[in-house]
A and B are shown apart, each in its own frame.
Chain A
Amino acid sequence: MYLSAEDFQAISLTLQLASVTTVLLLLLATPVAWWLAHTRSVWRAPVASLVALPLVLPPTVLGFYLLVALGPNGPIGQLTQWAGWGTLAFSFWGLVLGSVVYSLPFAVQPLVNAFEAMGPRPMEVAATLRASQWDAFFTVAVPLAKPGFVMAAMLSFAHTVGEFGVVLMIGGNIPDTTRVVSTQIYGHVEAMEYSQAHGLAGVMLVFSFVVLLGLSWFNHRSDQHKKVGA
């Protein structure tokens, strides 16, 4: 079992994609999750459902709509062309956009849970200790929701690494640009290169197991801490 230069390229691209996606997701998911955890608006349920949509939608459907939207005549495509960036379909940033949409629920849900578990009290206490809303958010809410942030980051990263359908639809399978580990494995299998497929598949298997193991250890630890604190 050995990994070719293309395989390493695919691994490197996958890690880049997952890292960028995770960072963007945390930035996007935090305000969304905060709003979902605190609002009493009638829009809460529709927005929550929209965010959760990638959980149930076949990745090909999501990929198809994204492809249309990113294309020269799609709304996003027109916007990016107007901005002078060309179209994002079949590019790295197109993949990033697709991954952000695809993994959104995995970032939002742990954060919503963390913010809800915290309750309104810590923010109220901070206000009575002279902290403004923003100050309290960064110095109280974020540290208290740390387990939620860790969980959101790990899940987003792992889920992005594991995506296939969306990548195939909007990325094609262009070496060094949009060929990630999952599509590379697919390519190997199509080409009957089973030993190379084994190598990459093994890497994915070990990676996924380690992530899940890490998550369960982390959960266990923060649960223990909570029990003592209660």
Chain B
Amino acid sequence: MNIHLQLDIARADFDVSVNVQLPAHGITVIYGPSGCGKTTLLRCVAGLEPKARGVVQLGHEVWQDDSQHVRLPTHQRALGYVFQEASLFDHLDVAGNLTYGHQRAERNNRNAMSQAVVQQTIELLGIGHLLKRRSHELSGGERQRVAIARALVTQPRLLLLDEPLAALDHARKQEVLPWLEKLRDDLNIPMLYVTHAVDEVARLADTLVVMNQGRVQANGPVAEVLTQTDLPVVVGEDAGALLTGIVLNIDTQWHLAQVGFAGGALWVRDSGLSVGQTVRLRVLARDVSVTLQQATHTSIQNHVPCVVDAITPESHPSQMLLRLRCGDSVLLARVTARGVHELGLQVGMPAWAQVKSVALVK
């Protein structure tokens, strides 16, 4: 099953025009700079932009198809929407906010949704102790968790999240992120997640859509899109690869854990990992260098055999971005142009990637 979005809407600065097929599972992150039209796109999916024209289709369920004069109003689309500011209803307490959507969804569907859904959601987001509170008696993180729960108890077929963490400070962000990961892993609801923060992409995305100036620049599995060296999102300080792997070994003496991924293995800091656990690793391009032979006398622990896949000049003439294929995975390396010249690196050459540092994103 797919989500098909084909939408056009005119804005004062530029037109947003999008045509994408997205998987109807996991988290699809819509990423791009501020004002690139990603929030507008999300609002179009929800039917909140009356001027949007096109198609919004979820599997066989058509929410909008202007060529067929089909256009369900927002309240008839089985979606959940989490806004940037939690936007809880001030005149209701937390329980009232949750019941508001639940009752109406039940009425519209004409089938009794069990109260158990509400109870499960309250437990899933850990808000049981907040039910009698009003919006102004909650912290920013709590408010956002309630807003997510409120969207979920309507049992949506699609969950839309518009920068749900942007209004929170770092500590509150770290408080909400694990709950979002839990939703992704525990629930079978596809999510469209808008953000301009790379760390949220690394941590949450299964699929990544990159937007700029109202257009989609790339769309695909997150690990692939993040290593497309011709994308502006990839180039820059945050350029780096994302690997998904499984913990193979724990070295208790040196507090390291070995994570195997499709194409090799890396030692990472052991922060309480257990063997068999699935983890995500972020390897920044600036932390990867290249040697032709496996280096021996070096403090760097991680050496991965690879093949040079692409060599791209960077904005500064001294720098080059290398795409390295390691088995089924891809790493990026930022190196100097002189280094590339001295090693005689060319596309197709075998080499070794030396990884100085790996960040565990989950």
> A residues within 8 Å of B by Cβ?
121-122, 124-132, 135-136, 139-140, 143-144, 146, 225, 228-230
Contact = CB atoms under 8 A, between A and B. Distances in A.
Contacts of A122: 87, 89
Nearest to B102: A129
Interface string B129-157: 00000111000000000000011001000
Contacts of B352: none
A36 to B, nearest CB: 20
B81 A132 contact: no
B154 A130 contact: yes
Q: Which of A122, A125, A139 gathers most chain B CB within 10 Å?
A: A125
B169 to A, nearest CB: 16
A130 B87 contact: no
Contact of B74 (A128, A140, A146, A228): A128
14 contacts: A121-B83, A125-B81, A127-B48, A128-B48, A128-B75, A130-B76, A131-B75, A131-B104, A135-B75, A136-B75, A139-B100, A143-B91, A144-B89, A228-B136
A124 to B, nearest CB: 6
B104 A135 contact: yes
Interface of B: 46-48, 73-76, 79-81, 83, 85, 87, 89-91, 100-101, 104-105, 107-108, 134-136, 150-151, 154
A229 B108 CA distance: 32
A128 B104 contact: no
Q: What DSSP secondary structure best describes chain A's contact surface? A: helix
B135 A125 contact: no
Nearest to B80: A128
A130 B136 contact: no
Q: Which of A125, A129, A132, A136 gathers most chain B CB within 10 Å?
A: A129
A144 B87 CA distance: 12
Contacts of A146: 91
Contact of A129 (B73, B134, B135, B154): B154
Given A228-B136, A229-B135, A127 B74 contact: yes
B73 A125 contact: no
A130 B75 contact: yes
A144 B90 contact: yes
A146 B90 CA distance: 12
A172 B187 CA distance: 73
A40 to B, nearest CB: 12
Contacts of A121: 83, 85, 87
Nearest to A229: B136
A199 B236 CA distance: 82
A37 B25 CA distance: 40
A124 B150 CA distance: 14
A229 B104 contact: no
Contacts of A139: 100
Given A125-B81, A129-B101, 13 more contacts: A122-B87, A126-B75, A126-B100, A127-B47, A127-B48, A130-B75, A130-B107, A132-B73, A136-B75, A139-B100, A144-B91, A146-B91, A230-B136
B75 to A, nearest CB: 5
Contacts of B136: 225, 228-230
B6 to A, nearest CB: 22
Contacts of A126: 75, 100
A129 B81 CA distance: 8
Nearest to A135: B104
Contacts of A125: 81, 83, 87, 89
Nearest to B88: A125
A135 B73 CA distance: 14
Nearest to A128: B81
A134 to B, nearest CB: 11
